[in-house]
Amino acid sequence: MALQTRVKLAKLDAPKVHGLDHDTLIRIYRTMFLSRRLDDREIQLKRQNKIYFQISSAGHEAICAAMGLFLRPGVDWIYPYYRDRALCLMLGVTPLETLLAAVGAKDDPSSGGRQMPSHWGQPKLNIVSKSSCTGTQFVQAVGAAEATLYYEGRRKALAQAKKAPLGEYVNHERDEIVYVSGGDGATSEGEFWESLNVACGKRLPLLYLVEDNGYAISVPVEVQTAGGSISKLVRSFPALHVAECDGTDPIESYSVCKEAVQYCRERRGPALIHAHVTRPYSHSLSDDEKLYKSAEEREEEARRDPISKFALFLVREGILDQKQIESLEAEVDNEVREAADQALAAEEPSIDSIRMNVYSPDVDPASAAFESEPQLHGAPKTMVEMVALTLADEMARDERITIFGEDVADASREDSLKQVKGKGGVFKATAGLQRKYGNDRVFNTPLAEASIVGRALGMATRGLKPVAEIQFFDYIWPAMMQIRDELCVMRWRSNGAFKAPVVLRVPIGGYLTGGGVYHSQSGESIFTHCPGLRVVMPSTALDVAGLLRTAIRCDDPVMFLEHKHLYRQPYNRSEHPGPDFTIPFGKARTVKEGSDLSIITYGAVVHRAEVAAAQLEREGISVEIIDLRSLSPYDWEAIAATVRKTHRVIVAYEDMLSWGYGAEIAARIADELFEDLDAPVRRVAAMDTFCAYQPKLEDVILPQTSHITAAVKRLLEY
């Protein structure tokens, strides 16, 4: 809304206001005041039980409003913290839009009523959907800044990204930058440090704003940060521009933001602003700061309140007189009242909308569009060779694909690359790809799993197609929050405005003879438990080719589990099926037909079931084997069909017996196919313990052919 308050022009002392003109000074104040009034209104609505949560931006308005003057909506990429209301208003988010989020309205542009208020997100403004997690945003912003550099050199990738679903929001400008903010508390998360390491190492155009209000809920900054000052700690990061300011003073903030933004735009490296702000309204409405802040401290904070201080400044400098301030404030109050009335009358989301946008509405990887016939040619390839071949084929087709992780490159040092054969992954699954497609497309990362996934997510948000590798399933856990709370939820929480079509390739499983507890883990059920994520686990080279290609071409995040023990087996090789061979997700493969009993399995147990079936065949027992190969979605129809055919079923899987993936399948069979069973559903699985290094112990722990054979015989006795 245009400022209607008439302003008496005063002569400004230029150095005092860093060249800011009257209109801009008033715009800053208006935005700050509007932000505060929206908080006040939300607090009132919460007390009236008309909204369900409130977290304020009070005390943070000055630095955020100042920053908003330098960021360009729809050009720069914004990863805002929940206290960035004034920034978002400056960039074009309207008061009504913020209140639509507060009431959880259908037309709330950040989430359609799915997220709490102040969890910003608007694709047309390049404001990326924010989760509640403190710290995850930092590594995602790194990925977004990497996309900036990537698109600079890869125009074809940009064109391809624009053509993909949600491509209307893909953009790139030569001097764009990425902004990410967080609180003093959030800087303690590992992801903050992981992100700085990459941003400085790659000199990314990434601007950090640390809004230090002295507390993370009740934890004071000296407990949070060694020495109490984050800017002191980060000063030794190379190429990082570091500035500290009074974030309650918009004019000082303006000058500091100007310099930092310029530093990033000029591609001199990342910048970090450490802004000291206040937090007068407690952490949220669920908190009462009187419980841990002394009265003296609270009074001191009140004296630093940015709104009252700046109003006083404007009057003192003759920019606005008291009457004009009152008139401006009345105008803002009116605007807030009107927006609140509209928000309270807004339509709620429909109950059935809850199922929408868990997965892509545009690309269904389980559809017939992904059915194809293999065009087999060439010498048989192992599973791991097929991974590399499929990646190479897809990279040739789609310039959006980037590949990264620990040790995935042939050789990071270009001089060495000329002289050596190349590493290409600890299992050689990415061998030769860097040499073929370049260092910007295939590269090694620091040893930091959360940042591998977070960076992939940041790139995917901007239209790229990252295929990242987690070196061993056993080491995926630092990335768990990025996977569970970010990758899986991005599309749903933004109500379809953002997506995260990352492929995570993860070597998994045991039977390694000497793998021990940290190189043999299973745990696929932990990820099939996560809505939003597709999980596949092929057991043959042909299925690797078809399913990996589908994973890359689909528009959802996919966890592609590669069983290490199967990588180089002679029994699952395949000729190359051609560059367009895809297999739909959620379609099982009948490994062997049979009539007496069914074994439902996947991964490394498929072959063990085949060996068991061959032995049993000699004793006149006919076993049917179903390889699920896709775990989420999975082929319930194939399961039901085989149970209805043989009436006896064993679910055989490598994960632990209790709470393992097969436990759910067995439960569903017992639940929904009870009438079709002639005997109870049986499971053959690993013991509920860890996988031992000593091969004799490993043999006992993991399911073996002999366990399957014994289970089949027992089941046929019914």
Q: Which of 552, 569, 581 is nearest to 371 (CA)?
A: 581
From the list Mg ion, ligand TPP, none, pick the one residue 182 interacts with, judged by a Cβ distance below 5 to 8 Å according to partner type: ligand TPP
* Shortest Å distance, C-beta 302 to Mg ion: 17
Least separation in angstroms between CB 215 and ligand TPP: 5
Local structure of 211: helix, strand or coil:
strand
CA distances from residue 51 to 46, 95, 224, 344 in whole angstroms, order as listed: 5, 15, 32, 9
Between CA 572 and CA 678 the distance in angstroms is 33
Q: Which residue's Cβ lies closest to ligand TPP?
A: 183
Smallest gap, in angstroms, from Cβ of residue 224 to ligand TPP? 7
Which entry of ligand TPP, Mg ion, none binds 186, CB below 5 to 8 A by partner kind?
A: ligand TPP
* Shortest spacing between CB 481 and ligand TPP, in angstroms: 7
Q: Decide: 572 and 690 in contact? Cβ < 8 Å.
A: no
Q: Residue 703 corresponds to which tokens in the numbers above?
A: 């399911």
In DSSP terms, which residues pair with 576 in a beta bridge?
Answer: 377
Shortest reach from residue 454's CB to ligand TPP, in Å: 13
How many chain residues interact with ligand TPP (CB under 6 A)?
A: 17
Q: Does 132 bind ligand TPP (CB under 6 A)?
A: yes
119, 276, 283, 519: which one is catalytic?
519
Q: Which stretch binds ligand TPP (CB under 6 A): 131-139, 146-154, 172-180, 335-343?
A: 131-139
Q: x/- contact string, 336-375, with ligand TPP (CB under 6 A)?
A: ----------------------------------------
Q: Read off the amino acid at residue 65.
A: A
Place of tokens 């967080």: 182
- CB under 6 A: which stretch of 66-74, 111-119, 127-135, 611-619 binds ligand TPP? 127-135
Tokens 């390839």: give the residue. 381
Cβ 276 to Mg ion shortest distance, Å: 11
The entry of ligand TPP, Mg ion, none that residue 441 binds, CB within 5 to 8 Å by partner kind: none
The item of ligand TPP, Mg ion, none sharing an interface with residue 603, based on CB under 5 to 8 Å by kind, is none
Q: Please pick, from the candidates 105, 116, 186, 401, the single residue that binds ligand TPP as defined by CB under 6 A.
A: 186
Phi-psi label, residue 126: left if phi above 0, alpha if psi -120 to 50, beta otherwise: left
Q: Is 512 in the site for ligand TPP (CB under 6 A)?
A: no
**Which one of the spans 176-184, 394-402, 529-537, 556-564 is the region binding ligand TPP (CB under 6 A)?**
176-184
Would you tell me the crossing angle of helices 322-344 and 22-47 to the nearest 10 degrees? 40
Q: What is the DSSP string of 648-687?
A: -EEEEEEEESTTSHHHHHHHHHHHHSGGG-SS--EEEEE-
Query: Hey, what's the torsion of the CAs at 145, 146, 148, 153, to 10 degrees?
Result: 160
**Residue number, nearest CB to Mg ion:** 183
Beta strands 241-246; 589-592: pairing state: unpaired
Q: In angstroms, what is the minimal distance from the CB of 693 to Mg ion?
A: 45
Angstrom CA distances, 663 to 250, 597, 658, 670, 673, stand at 59, 18, 7, 11, 15
CB 130 within 8 A of CB 79: yes
Closest CA to 140 of 556, 414, 489, 591: 489
Per-residue binding string, ligand TPP, 266-305, x by CB under 6 A, is: -------------x---x----------------------
Q: Does 493 bind ligand TPP (CB under 6 A)?
A: no
Nearer to ligand TPP, 135 or 458 (CB): 135
Phi, psi of 714 (to 5 degrees): -65, -40
| Whether 707 is catalytic | no
Instruction: Name which of 523, 551, 520, 553 is nearest 538 in CA terms.
Output: 551
Q: Which of 133, 149, 417, 426 binds ligand TPP (CB under 6 A)?
A: 133
> Does 130 contact ligand TPP by CB under 6 A?
no
Site string for ligand TPP, 208-227 (x = CB under 6 A): ---x-x-xxx----------
Closest CB to ligand TPP among 217 and 697? 217
Helix (H, G, I), strand (E, B) or coil at 607: helix
Closest approach of Cβ 701 to ligand TPP, in Å? Answer: 34
Secondary structure (3-state) at 599: strand
Interacting residues toward Mg ion by CB under 5 A: 183-185, 213, 216
Residue 169 host element (H or E)? none
In the numeric block, the tokens 């900036």 are attached to 148
Q: Of 118 and 471, which has the nearer Cβ to Mg ion?
A: 118
Interface residues with ligand TPP (CB under 6 A) are: 83, 132-135, 182-186, 211, 213, 215-217, 279, 283
Q: Which residues belong to the active site?
A: 519
